[in-house]
Structure 1
């Protein structure tokens, strides 16, 4: 079980690194006026999103193993709240992919300020997940 926890934490950290960084690239894309810089940023965003997807899958898979096989959190309310927050993170991840499609198509409608606020969503969700996992309030 400890190895599964270690890998779960590793995958969570790696996935979140992408969830934190990709919207920062979007901030720069929304501000970019030079085609060469835009092309570089789009390439970075595409590669990062492609890299993040397997990390999200591995995070969820190891979390499910901990929950379903080892029974961590079984019968406790905090685990259901955590699962809901993880579902919201998956939606956020997919939303990032949709925004990337808009950038690639040249149809972005949002300003850099929007993406600065958008970048705060995973921070808040991570804080809530950490509170649930560490404090187990219910």
Structure 2
């Protein structure tokens, strides 16, 4: 049976997969770096001084111009891969573990956005240690995603 959408997805598969991987790499870079910036922002900057403004600009540009577009691209190309015929075996566990980890990673992205707004308002209450601990979450989620995709258990 001829289905132009499925045919397009199958033909575009190498491009879709490549663009998905590129988007994942840029998104992960931001997810690793923004909490680290928050650590230095908390530990080295006084609210309202010139350095506070510099950190806020760095955080905004990373979040808005790198992380948000990357998140959108990850989801678009990831969903294209999901709907490409023959790519996902829904009778195995890996699509569900990967999906849960991606949802958690997306939650973390949004959580970072809320923390950025707290810095803007001057109401951040978290310590550098808290941001260091949260900085480990994307690593753990990345391990779940990579092992799920590679081993396909």
- Tell me if structure 2 keeps the 8 A contact 1:67–1:74: no
RMSD between superposed Cα atoms in Å:
1.1
TM-score by length of 1: 0.95
Partners of 1:30 and 1:70 in 2: CA distance: 48
Which of 34, 40, 45 is residue 59 of structure 2 equivalent to?
45
**Match in the other structure for 2:94:** 78
Partners of 2:115 and 2:142 in 1: CA distance: 21
- The 5 Å alignment of 1:1-138 reads 1-34=13-46, 35-51=49-65, 52-75=67-90, 76-137=92-153
TM-superposed CA distance for 1:73, in Å, is 1.6
Structure 2: gaps spanning 5 or more residues: 1-12
Structure 1: gaps spanning 5 or more residues: none
TM-score by length of 2: 0.86
TM-superposed CA distance for 1:106, in Å, is 0.2
How many residue pairs get aligned? The number is: 137
Partners of 1:64 and 1:120 in 2: CA distance: 26
SS in 1 for 2:34: helix
Segment of structure 1 superposing worse, 76-85 or 105-114 = 76-85
- Tell me if structure 1 keeps the 8 A contact 2:97–2:144: no
